[in-house]
């Protein structure tokens, strides 16, 4: 993904994590990658409340799995039920098997998934996930017109 597309993707973000330290770390990484506007929420309920107040949804969300109140899995299900299709980055320190299950669930819900990343996040893995992301409907589109036969 070219740099201008990366900048467009991370124009605005919502970081949802109950740990203030982890949340701030994610915010700093997104800022380093060029995010202009970053919102923060401490759990799924706060995230849904915030999304309800915004005129436009953020261009991506970073979601922790384990949070009090409404956890990340329930938040993702609520987003799908409400028709809020924001590209997602799931960040967790849980075991790989759970992360793979969450990835499968998100794909089954038909949502845009940027990546499922192990915490603590770092700039390299975040950039790599963002650069490899292709929104639904763009996976097989050529970059140019096909050549005539």
CATH number at residue 8: 3.40.50.2300
In a domain, 43, yes or no: yes
pTM, 2 dp: 0.87
Residues 6+ apart with CB under 8 A from 1: 9, 130, 131, 132, 133
Q: Which residue has tokens 């793979």?
A: 100
Look up the domain containing 129 and give its range: 1-12+33-59+68-93+112-134
Average pLDDT, the chain: 89
- With a cut of 90, say whether residue 148 has pLDDT above it: no
How would residue 140 be classed by pLDDT, with cut points 50, 70 and 90? very low
Question: 3 phi and psi, to 5 degrees?
Answer: -60, -40
Q: For residue 63, which of 98, 16, 25, 31 has the smallest C-alpha distance? A: 16
Which single residue is written with the structure tokens 């098997």? 97
Count the domains in the chain: 1
32: pLDDT confidence band, cut at 50, 70 and 90? Answer: very high
31: pLDDT confidence band, cut at 50, 70 and 90?
very high
| Residue range 10-15: mean pLDDT, rounded | 93
Q: Give me the pLDDT at residue 135, please.
A: 81
In degrees to the nearest 10, what's the CA dihedral of 41, 119, 102, 13?
40
Q: How far apart are CA 89 and CA 36, in angstroms?
A: 17
Residue 20 belongs to a domain? no
Count of alpha carbons within 13 Å of 111, Cβ hemisphere only? 28
Q: Is the pLDDT of residue 120 over 50?
A: yes
Distances (CA, A) of 68 to 29, 38, 121, 123: 24, 22, 21, 27
* Domain-embedded: residue 85: yes
Q: pLDDT of 77-117, one tens digit each?
A: 999 999 999 999 999 999 999 999 999 999 999 999 999 99
């Amino acid at each position: 993904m070219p740099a201008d597309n990366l900048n467009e993707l991370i124009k605005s973000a919502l970081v949802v994590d109950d740990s203030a330290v982890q949340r701030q770390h994610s915010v700093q990484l997104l800022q380093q990658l060029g995010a202009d506007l970053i919102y923060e929420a401490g759990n799924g309920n706060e995230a849904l409340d915030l999304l309800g107040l915004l005129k436009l949804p953020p261009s991506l969300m970073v979601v922790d799995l384990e949070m009090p109140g409404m956890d990340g899995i329930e938040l993702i299900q609520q987003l799908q039920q409400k028709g809020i299709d924001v590209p997602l980055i799931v960040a967790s320190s849980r075991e790989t098997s759970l992360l793979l299950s969450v990835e499968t669930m998100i794909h089954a819900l038909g949502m845009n998934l940027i990546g499922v990343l192990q915490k603590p996040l770092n700039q390299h893995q975040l950039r790599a996930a963002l650069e490899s992301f292709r929104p639904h409907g763009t996976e097989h589109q050529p970059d140019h017109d096909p050549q005539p036969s």
